[in-house]
Structure 1
């Protein structure tokens, strides 16, 4: 509630807007990080994707900004355009009413417009390393008044080789600045860099034993590489997700899969790392509003994407390192929502599944597609064992039924066929012989015998007595 936000040090006006947005109480990472950041200390935060990291640093940043000073006071760096724009939207949503001016500085957007935006003296900037470095070299970005620098998805920026640009930006900031690293994973090399760049950082890890949300279900399906498209198609039919991401290790198959999925009737699109900003933004907007159901992408392109209602993540193969799996799986199950992650694994790579489970401390259940459903293989085996008893041929089941005595059954027990046969016979014996004589009569009798061959023994005896009485 509002009181709980204010107990962390969040000012009442911001706490009120959080309540209006439906955020009645802080998430664990927010409760741990906000007080420390408000003190001005360097922090290194690890928390799983979708846990609320963005507001954990944005709220302290917005609160510490002095809106009467016309200078850039806080800078947030993100590895991708999409993540940067998501941060911009959140900053404008909560900071705009507080009088905070926000400027995006991302690659793929117009540099001249960004320069014009910087002339309006924003208080907070959100950008990607490459564009920030470019603006610094052009002497259009002034960071002398910046007192807070945040690196969101810090490990990915270092993995993408942005260390040089990062250090150039940090060198342009005053020495007494506050530095914060936020990420779902903090590999040893990232932690070592934090030690070098930070001053006695406070390490925050709200759930060290849990690297992924507990609301996510993890499954693995055996599928040879050449059969992965058909397996993925059957999976989509079985689970019928409203939205799904399919992860590829390389981009060379994405266009082919996109075309095939569209041919099969799926609303599919692609998200490439080198696509222009407008195309990428339109693809994500179409996925969010339901015009697309499936987006094919890579790890880099999907880093930090926030699609709250995403139901399914499909990974083609098992990632070779746990961090990549965390970031793929973390696209779903955000902020406590349920989600499903299915890895399509070549049988030769199956041992990787066990290694991943041990490293992450999660359970990845083996599943298979059977009867249009994603099931546990043991269920199919049990079904196969029980089927012969439950599904015997009709003739065999008839043999197993007890037979009623003929006297007890009567004409009703003999059934409609016997009754019809009796009626045909009575009509035949009461009919006068034709002029054709005995030859025709004997033929008629043989025909009746043939037709009535299957009648009950008691009925045949009755017919015989009737035939004898008419002679």
Structure 2
């Protein structure tokens, strides 16, 4: 189907799609919509910004029978923001219809949420923990729901939510249709998928765009200076349309937002400790362009749609370096250009090397009197010390810091690096 008008959707849905300004389905929509209309379980691999959400929302709405009083589809997202975002898009498709939908997310009153479920919704959207609570308490009856969608499944796995999903999925029909969407499919997620999915269709749309496409990566040393003061220097040197500043913890996000506000900068913030009402209000203010700067945790790096981000600033390097890619992916979207600025201390050199090994081309820079100046100190220091060859870089990039560190982990990592280097050099000599 080359146009949405080519589908035989119900009139109200055709009007809703037209009202959203959609003319032609995106590649993942072309693949996934027919599968869901046919009832064929599928795994969809696509990155944020590909139209993934509507690839399952549209056919689910088309298949929903509003004349019955049963739950027919359950849509799960790992965070409140993602769930709310999906629910808002679903509401646009079902407005002025008899299709009932409910949003079930943590941070809201459980009893009030349960009381709203006295008449079963046709479609449930929510976070795993809250849905499981409602099912366990008997407030939500999902044994009739034949469709289960898990959005951002790799993040749900990382956050430890698969167990909750497994608990309520086991109460759904034996002929359950499952649709799993994820940028990556971790090996540890596969047993769960195999439990519920027999020979699913596997749709993989496009490769992640080149890291260099429309992007500039600035690497700014902190050295002895306080990180907050260095950030203020950076802020003086940019004029963003919208900049997201990433920290690693909620506490650091609060502290940095307070510091920036005290320095006269109007700043918003997004993290998991905000109440649902606060986060809804904050997202509206962000979309209304009240702020030039937003301080955020990695929650905002996955899936949340914040349009118009021109700059990403890594105030702290993430512990999981894959999140570096998710962070910088917030900018240079829809054909626009973007800038990623990373503050680093020389003690974090190993992380920088690993990020470079992922294909990130840093430019080493300083901000002086509001002007950006390229500097050579980092590379010069590397030349004065031991020159890293391809084998060194490969070994350092391959060995990851364990999630839970124990005494002696640094020695263990060093030994692993040396073992890899020896093996690679033996292979090189044989060649």
TM-score computed with the length of structure 1 as normaliser: 0.72
Q: Which stretch of the first structure deviates more once superposed, 160-169 or 272-281?
A: 272-281
Return the match for 2:367 from 360, 366, 369: 369
1:242 deviation in Å?
Answer: 3.0
1:301 deviation in Å?
Answer: 6.1
- Any conservation in 2 of the 1:129–1:162 contact (CA below 8 Å)? yes
1:351 deviation in Å?
Answer: 4.2
Measured against aligned partners, the alpha-carbon deviations of 1:229-275 in whole angstroms (never above 9, x if no partner) come to 22222222322223222111123333332222112211123333122
- The number of residue pairs the alignment matches comes to 376
Are the structure 2 counterparts of residues 94 and 373 from structure 1 closer, same or farther at C-alpha, using a change threshold of 3 Å?
farther
Structure 1: runs of 5 or more not aligned: 379-471
Aligned partners of 2:54, 2:4: CA distance in 1, in Å? 12
Structure 2: runs of 5 or more not aligned: 377-431
Residue 32 of structure 2 corresponds to which residue in structure 1?
33
| Aligned-partner SS, 2:57 | helix
Residue 295 of structure 2 corresponds to which residue in structure 1?
296
1:10-159 paired onto structure 2 within 5 Å: 13-159=12-158
Aligned partners of 2:248, 2:184: CA distance in 1, in Å? 19
Residue 259 of structure 1 corresponds to which residue in structure 2?
258
Q: Which one has a bigger Cα radius of gyration?
A: 1
Poorly superposed stretches of 4+, deviation over 6 Å: none
Q: Which stretch of the first structure deviates more once superposed, 96-105 or 69-78?
A: 96-105
Are the structure 2 counterparts of residues 177 and 218 from structure 1 closer, same or farther at C-alpha, using a change threshold of 3 Å?
farther
- Any conservation in 2 of the 1:287–1:294 contact (CA below 8 Å)? no
Q: Which stretch of the first structure deviates more once superposed, 167-176 or 263-272?
A: 263-272
1:364 deviation in Å?
Answer: 4.1
Are the structure 2 counterparts of residues 55 and 216 from structure 1 closer, same or farther at C-alpha, using a change threshold of 3 Å?
farther
Residue 466 of structure 1 corresponds to which residue in structure 2?
none
1:70 deviation in Å?
Answer: 1.8
| Aligned-partner SS, 2:258 | helix
- Any conservation in 2 of the 1:49–1:327 contact (CA below 8 Å)? no
Residue 310 of structure 1 corresponds to which residue in structure 2?
309
Aligned CA-pair RMSD: 2.7
Higher helix share: 1
Are the structure 2 counterparts of residues 369 and 170 from structure 1 closer, same or farther at C-alpha, using a change threshold of 3 Å?
same
1:209 deviation in Å?
Answer: 5.1
1:140 deviation in Å?
Answer: 0.6
- Any conservation in 2 of the 1:243–1:310 contact (CA below 8 Å)? yes
- Any conservation in 2 of the 1:50–1:333 contact (CA below 8 Å)? no
Are the structure 2 counterparts of residues 37 and 374 from structure 1 closer, same or farther at C-alpha, using a change threshold of 3 Å?
farther
- Any conservation in 2 of the 1:313–1:340 contact (CA below 8 Å)? yes
TM-score computed with the length of structure 2 as normaliser: 0.79
Measured against aligned partners, the alpha-carbon deviations of 1:88-142 in whole angstroms (never above 9, x if no partner) come to 1100001224542221011112323322332233211111111111111210110
Are the structure 2 counterparts of residues 22 and 365 from structure 1 closer, same or farther at C-alpha, using a change threshold of 3 Å?
farther
- Any conservation in 1 of the 2:253–2:269 contact (CA below 8 Å)? yes
- Any conservation in 2 of the 1:305–1:331 contact (CA below 8 Å)? no
| Aligned-partner SS, 2:28 | helix
- Residue 197 (str. 1) matches residue 196 (str. 2): yes
Measured against aligned partners, the alpha-carbon deviations of 1:18-71 in whole angstroms (never above 9, x if no partner) come to 233222222222223222222222222222222221111111211111122221
Residue 327 of structure 2 corresponds to which residue in structure 1?
328
- Any conservation in 1 of the 2:212–2:360 contact (CA below 8 Å)? no
1:176 deviation in Å?
Answer: 0.8
1:316-395 paired onto structure 2 within 5 Å: 316-359=315-358, 361-374=359-372, 376-377=374-375
Aligned partners of 1:115, 1:230: CA distance in 2, in Å? 48
